[in-house]
């Protein structure tokens, strides 16, 4: 029996880890039954006096993540995939609003980095109102399909990476459920431009408004990859079905590698990863991950994460 | 070791009218404490803790009002809550508000 056989046997015998396929070194295993594990709210930068009015308008209200038992009005506590709690990101009920949770690490090597999670996405239930609420976007309620599915905008998994003398870049994968007109697209997309930064605002180059898309504000800067993918919303806003996501990037080549979502594996090697033109100080070996959820309607959107595992081959 | 968490539900937000904070889910917590700070503006506001069974429908927890004046930091505990917490606020004038919710298992 080889060392890798022993390792595989140990992983497969552990119910916490057997649902993942980690690379050889696990950097983080975040089971949200035991806290938030460093997934915290993202906030833009501010001046030396702690004056939060100096934070960019589009980066000052990304909302604190919550430990959620997935409680709903109709059935009470749903619970998570494992145990009771999931990490929940919740937007405000304001079109364009985004909630973000970020996890901050640094790199002790270069090579493959893999993030795995089990996630679910939902819109908030609507209670009351008239029959006009049975229609939204592409959906007319028919006993199966539910208008709340068209009230969900997009969720994103991304990195913020820097090294090699201050070269900074993001790898990004976004599931766009609907466009800004609330029509289904169900398409994976990635940005072709780097994320706007507080320094660009400080230097007067960019000023984005509240609820602007902070990852890439111009919808034309997002390009599809892979084929459209229908995920499991399961009809109403209060049924939680967990999806598997595995995302592999290469910090040696500064590239995406592949994204797996349930049974679909998408080759991302040709998805561009545009770096910042200028070099960055104080970010050496930066290895950040974030999840975000963005509503395209005036309805709160939620992203639930049962657990997250980050592993590397170095 | 007890679990604890601090959420910043409003971050120097300016209000000129009544408001409620976003719903916050605290099923795991046994106790909570609000910290409300008026970091700007010349107005005052009266705050009441609210609870909810679902994050959608709300009622007052105890009816106790807590008044914050310009420059003040006001704090009070909440206990015996359900799985959701928020504040409702009655605002007079203009208030720039920072609200922390500190929760512990």
pLDDT digits (tens, 9 = 90+) for B67-100: 999 999 999 999 999 899 999 999 999 999 999 9
**CA A72 to CA B53: how far, in whole Å?**
8
Mean pLDDT (chain B) is 97
pLDDT at res. A141:
95
Contacts of A68 in chain B (CB under 8 A): 25, 27
Chain A: closest CA distance from residue B62 (Å): 22
Chain A: closest CA distance from residue B38 (Å): 13
Give the count of alpha carbons within 13 A of B28, CB side only.
25
Closest CA in chain A for residue B85: A66
The answer to whether residue A258 is domain-embedded is yes
The residue of A39, A40, A71, A76 whose CB has the most chain B CBs within 10 angstroms, and thus the best one to mutate to test that interface, is: A71
CATH 2.60.120.380 assigned to domain B4-104? The reply is yes
Contact B32, B78 (CB under 8 A): yes
Residue A115's CB is within 10 A of a number of other CB atoms, namely 23
Chain A: closest CA distance from residue B90 (Å): 20
Contacts of A66 in chain B (CB under 8 A): 7, 24-26
Query: A252-261 long-range contacts, Cβ below 8 Å, gap at least 24?
Result: A252/A110, A252/A111, A254/A161, A254/A164, A254/A167, A254/A169, A255/A171, A256/A171, A256/A173, A256/A190, A257/A112, A259/A173, A259/A188, A259/A226, A261/A175, A261/A188, A261/A229, A261/A231
Q: How many domains does chain A contain in total?
A: 1
Chain B: closest CA distance from residue A14 (Å): 25
Contacts of B54 in chain A (CB under 8 A): 71-73, 125
Q: Which of A213, A145, A141 is nearest to A179 (CA)?
A: A213
The answer to whether residue A8 is domain-embedded is no
Contacts of B57 in chain A (CB under 8 A): 73, 127
**Which one of A52, A72, A85 has the shortest CB-CB distance to B54?**
A72
Please report the ipTM that was assigned to this predicted complex: 0.97
pLDDT at res. A293:
98
**Which one of B11, B23, B83 has the shortest CB-CB distance to A52?**
B11
**CA A128 to CA A125: how far, in whole Å?**
10
Contact A27, A20 (CB under 8 A): no
Q: Which of A201, A189, A171, A155 is nearest to A274 (CA)?
A: A171
CA B88 to chain CA centroid, nearest Å: 7
Contacts of A71 in chain B (CB under 8 A): 25, 27, 53-55, 83-84
pLDDT truncated to tens, each residue of chain A (314 aa)? 899 999 999 999 999 999 999 999 999 999 999 999 999 999 999 999 999 999 999 999 999 999 999 999 999 999 999 999 999 999 999 999 999 999 999 999 999 999 999 999 999 999 999 999 999 999 999 999 999 999 999 999 999 999 999 999 999 999 999 999 999 999 999 999 999 887 777 788 878 999 999 999 999 999 999 999 999 999 999 999 999 999 999 999 999 999 999 999 999 999 999 999 999 999 999 999 999 999 999 999 999 999 999 999 99
Residue A66 contacts B where some CB pair is shorter than 8 Å: yes
Domain boundary assignment for chain B: 4-104
- Range of the structural domain that residue A261 is part of: 25-312
pLDDT at res. A142:
94
Contacts of A35 in chain B (CB under 8 A): 3, 5
Can you give the length of chain A in residues? 314
**CA A237 to CA A123: how far, in whole Å?**
6
CA triple A212-A215-A220, angle to 5 deg: 80
């Amino acid at each position: 029996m080889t060392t890798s056989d022993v390792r595989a046997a140990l992983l497969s015998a552990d119910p916490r880890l057997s649902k993942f396929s980690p690379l050889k070194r696990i950097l983080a295993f975040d089971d949200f039954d035991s806290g938030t594990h460093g997934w915290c709210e993202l906030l833009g930068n501010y001046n030396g006096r702690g004056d939060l009015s100096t934070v960019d308008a589009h980066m000052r209200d990304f909302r604190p993540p919550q430990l959620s038992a997935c409680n709903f009005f109709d059935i009470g506590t749903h619970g998570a995939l494992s145990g009771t709690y999931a990490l929940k990101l919740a937007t405000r009920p304001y079109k364009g609003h985004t909630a973000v949770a970020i996890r901050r690490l640094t790199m002790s090597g270069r090579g493959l980095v893999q993030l795995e999670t089990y996630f679910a996405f939902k819109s908030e239930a609507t209670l009351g109102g008239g029959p006009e609420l049975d229609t939204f976007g592409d959906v007319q309620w028919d006993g199966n399909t539910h208008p709340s599915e068209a009230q969900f905008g997009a969720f994103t998994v991304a990195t913020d990476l820097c090294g090699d003398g201050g070269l900074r870049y993001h790898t990004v994968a976004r599931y766009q459920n609907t466009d800004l007109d609330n029509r289904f697209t169900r398409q994976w997309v990635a940005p072709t431009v780097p994320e706007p930064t507080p320094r660009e605002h400080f230097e007067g180059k960019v000023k984005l408004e509240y609820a602007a898309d902070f990852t890439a504000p111009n919808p034309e800067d997002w390009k599809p990859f892979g084929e459209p993918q229908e995920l499991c919303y399961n009809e109403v806003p209060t049924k939680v079905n967990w999806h598997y996501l595995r995302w592999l990037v290469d910090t040696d080549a500064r590239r995406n590698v592949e994204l797996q979502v349930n049974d679909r594996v998408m080759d991302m090697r040709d998805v561009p990863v545009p770096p910042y033109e200028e070099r960055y100080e104080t970010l050496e070996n930066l290895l950040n991950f974030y999840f975000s959820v963005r509503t395209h309607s005036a309805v709160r959107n939620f992203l639930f994460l049962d657990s997250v595992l980050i592993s590397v081959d170095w | 070791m007890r679990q604890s968490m601090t959420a910043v539900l409003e971050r120097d937000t300016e209000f000129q009218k009544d408001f409620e904070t976003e719903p916050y889910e605290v099923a795991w917590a046994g106790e909570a404490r609000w910290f409300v700070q008026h970091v700007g503006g010349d107005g005052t506001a009266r705050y009441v803790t609210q609870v909810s069974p679902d994050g959608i429908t709300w009622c007052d927890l105890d009816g106790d009002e807590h008044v914050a004046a310009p420059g003040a930091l006001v704090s009070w505990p909440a206990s015996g809550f359900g799985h959701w917490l928020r504040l409702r606020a009655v605002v007079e004038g203009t208030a720039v508000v920072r609200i922390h919710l500190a929760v512990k298992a």
